[in-house]
Structure 1
């Protein structure tokens, strides 16, 4: 498994992480199979959130992992908080501290390697978040911190009040969600792709050594479904298959390789609980697409160059 530097540190993390959003749909033995498949492929990074399965995903993970032979220190375990489903976003100190205690209990852990704030809270008080982070770190409950779906100004605002460096920003990125790179190539144009909807965060991340974590790497739309083997995207699947045949892997591996080919050292979150899909996706970390292959996939996905 390809390794990348985590944020501004010298610590290395795998270029892929296992997202456990759907683990609530699995039994404990099935969850163990998925975790082991990821671990055997070099994916020793787990990404969770307190809202996944209304907490059930973390409960299943905790039960599964506690019975496995993998040592805790061999895994990097991350969770997210800040969403109160259907009600509000909540970055209050009280909510953050309470949420972490509940996460640790569900996952049967003494600490999280990383805590990520899950989507921006319009009522965010950066100083209050800083107090929560300091308390969590001092108590040994969280080692590192990050955010999810923050634009550049929001990221900079929060960072300005923290004593810790933010390591991560989770952003949607895939062959069918390319806004972060479209606008740069359509600079000085007036077409739709020239609109910057991500406040140039990918460039900011490269300048300030922030690890972008790409979520929904095989999805189109907002959880509308996968583009892999989808009849709605024949040209893209034809190109994926051509390269899959060349590199002797599956289409998931090629779609993953496309993300990891970007020089920003992006970490990709694999959300599948299917061991075969996990193993195939992991193979993408060993493939370095040529520049032409990368652009051929980008164009086959329905994008165009000015």
Structure 2
């Protein structure tokens, strides 16, 4: 079993200027790739059963495809397939230990499933964060995470307690850098005040299928802001992350295939789906690559997290690196996905 990161020739700046721009994350983790691979689909089913040889083969094929398109950042969470995503990835690392030092390993914690102590809940208490990281490291078979994200905001979270957990993990060499996921600007600023090391990433649901963080800036001073549910809650989040050098990572960047398939499951998505395919053919890229290129055109230098575990679709995502989208195409897709003209 061989998992070797691809050695790609650099794309010229004239072809793709975005490849010459440093990701905010690369200031802290220079090996971080422009695209990330999300490992949520590895390890089998979301239950307590064990992973199998077939699950290992599936993970190997998916990781190999990601490496083939130059991915070095692999995104995990302790809850993915009840921990099996980390475990099966750890088996891949065990079989090829040299891979560990050539990739950026990221995981998340803070979501707890229902148990004897309570229902599904969020837990960003200091002891739980530390315990969760220790468990992730055991499953991954490694001694450190390059980046830990807090998976969801906990209404009961206390910044000083989170800062204490981060200090414990950093002093033991278990985690190098820290970030958050699904947090808005106010939460990030509030949390950052207690930390002695800045947050370096914020992973949001973001893309053609989830436009609210972008709409929050586009429509805040228009009546549309009141009709687009959730948009106002994200006000200032993209701007804060750009200002403070926080890497924006986009989960569900492919919108679960809403715009890349041959037909739209929801008729309201058909105009955007048709335009994605039209522009993909025009530019000689895959629909997946075009959808991700739309995200990567944003000046925040967003890092899409590839959520599919199908090797062919993973490789198709590599086309995003071949295209810098024009302003006209970007706005055409934005309007089509919104389903309404801009104010």
After TM superposition, is the score higher than 0.5? yes
- Aligned mates of 1:91, 1:186 — CA distance in 2: 33
- Please give the per-residue CA displacement for 1:132-172, whole angstroms capped at 9, x wherever unaligned: 11111111110000001111111111111111110011111
- Aligned mates of 1:74, 1:183 — CA distance in 2: 37
Residue 260 of structure 2 is matched in structure 1 by 228
Match for residue 160 of structure 1 among 187, 193, 210? 193
If each structure's strand is expressed as a fraction of its own residues, which one has the higher value? 1
Change (3 A) 1:118 1:94: same
5+ residue gaps, structure 2, are: 1-7, 9-18, 45-53
Change (3 A) 1:174 1:20: same
Q: Is the 8 A contact 2:33 2:71 kept in 1?
A: yes
- Aligned mates of 2:255, 2:26 — CA distance in 1: 29
Residue 248 of structure 1 is matched in structure 2 by 284
Aligned residue-pair number: 302
Q: Is the 8 A contact 1:8 1:167 kept in 2?
A: no
Q: Is the 8 A contact 2:293 2:320 kept in 1?
A: yes
- Aligned mates of 1:167, 1:10 — CA distance in 2: 8
- Please give the per-residue CA displacement for 1:34-58, whole angstroms capped at 9, x wherever unaligned: 1111112110100010010111111
Match for residue 277 of structure 1 among 301, 309, 313? 313
Match for residue 29 of structure 1 among 47, 57, 77? 57
Match for residue 137 of structure 2 among 87, 95, 104? 104
Q: Is the 8 A contact 1:259 1:268 kept in 2?
A: yes
- Aligned mates of 1:11, 1:102 — CA distance in 2: 23
Q: Is the 8 A contact 1:50 1:80 kept in 2?
A: yes
- Aligned mates of 1:8, 1:53 — CA distance in 2: 29
Change (3 A) 1:275 1:209: same
- Aligned mates of 2:59, 2:304 — CA distance in 1: 20
RMSD of aligned alpha carbons: 1.9
3-state SS of 1:14 partner:
coil
Does 2:42 correspond to 1:6?
Answer: no
Match for residue 222 of structure 2 among 186, 189, 214? 189
- Please give the per-residue CA displacement for 1:2-25, whole angstroms capped at 9, x wherever unaligned: 474334836432121100011022
Does 2:300 correspond to 1:268?
Answer: no
Match for residue 146 of structure 2 among 113, 117, 138? 113
Match for residue 63 of structure 1 among 74, 91, 101? 91
Q: Is the 8 A contact 2:259 2:276 kept in 1?
A: no
Match for residue 15 of structure 1 among 34, 37, 43? 34
Q: Is the 8 A contact 2:41 2:307 kept in 1?
A: yes
- Aligned mates of 1:208, 1:201 — CA distance in 2: 11
Change (3 A) 1:41 1:70: farther
Residue 123 of structure 1 is matched in structure 2 by 156
- Aligned mates of 2:155, 2:108 — CA distance in 1: 17
Change (3 A) 1:159 1:8: farther
| TM superposition score normalised by structure 2 | 0.83
- Aligned mates of 2:28, 2:150 — CA distance in 1: 23
- Please give the per-residue CA displacement for 1:111-140, whole angstroms capped at 9, x wherever unaligned: 000010010011111111111111111111
- Aligned mates of 1:294, 1:57 — CA distance in 2: 34
